[in-house]
């Protein structure tokens, strides 16, 4: 699973996820890519599940790039805990995804295999995505 090695501040405020992606919105490395159509948070577990699905479908051929990283700590209170008593400990990390953000890129495989692999990966992600090519 992906998570930061070291962070300056342990907990973060939730913040807002507005606007469209101005960085990471074009194919830079591969031939085919999976692009986010809506906004949301993608956890490190979801990224890992999608990566495994892609590598399984492509039979580990080709090269895969993961273009998002879970920097944002998400806090969660334990169940059946009363309100108050401060902010809860960090539960997991998530990546902030805006519309237009490239999530995965792949090269070295055929377009048909890439489409099937990205379809399987998009089933694991909480945001709607679309397949794009470098044409």
- Catalogue all structural domains in the chain, each as residue range(s) with its CATH number: 32-74+90-133 (3.90.1170.10)
**pLDDT value of residue 62:** 96
- Can you tell me the mean pLDDT for 95-110? 98
Q: In what order do the strands lie in the sheet with 63-66?
A: 63-66, 102-107, 32-36, 129-133
Checking if the pLDDT of 135 tops 90, the result is no
**pLDDT value of residue 122:** 97
Predicted structure pTM score? 0.95
Share of the chain above pLDDT 70, in %: 100
């Amino acid at each position: 699973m992906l998570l930061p090695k070291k962070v300056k501040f342990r907990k973060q405020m939730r913040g807002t996820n507005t606007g469209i992606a101005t960085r990471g919105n074009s194919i830079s490395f591969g031939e085919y890519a999976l692009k986010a159509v809506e906004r949301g948070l993608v956890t490190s577990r979801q990224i890992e599940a999608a990566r495994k699905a892609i590598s399984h479908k492509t039979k580990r051929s080709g090269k895969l790039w993961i273009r998002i990283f879970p920097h944002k700590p998400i806090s969660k209170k334990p169940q059946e805990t009363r309100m108050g008593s401060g902010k809860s400990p960090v539960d997991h990390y998530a990546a902030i995804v805006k519309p237009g953000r490239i999530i995965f890129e792949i090269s070295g495989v055929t377009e048909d295999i890439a489409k099937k692999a990205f379809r399987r990966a998009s089933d694991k992600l909480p945001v709607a995505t679309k397949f794009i090519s470098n044409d």
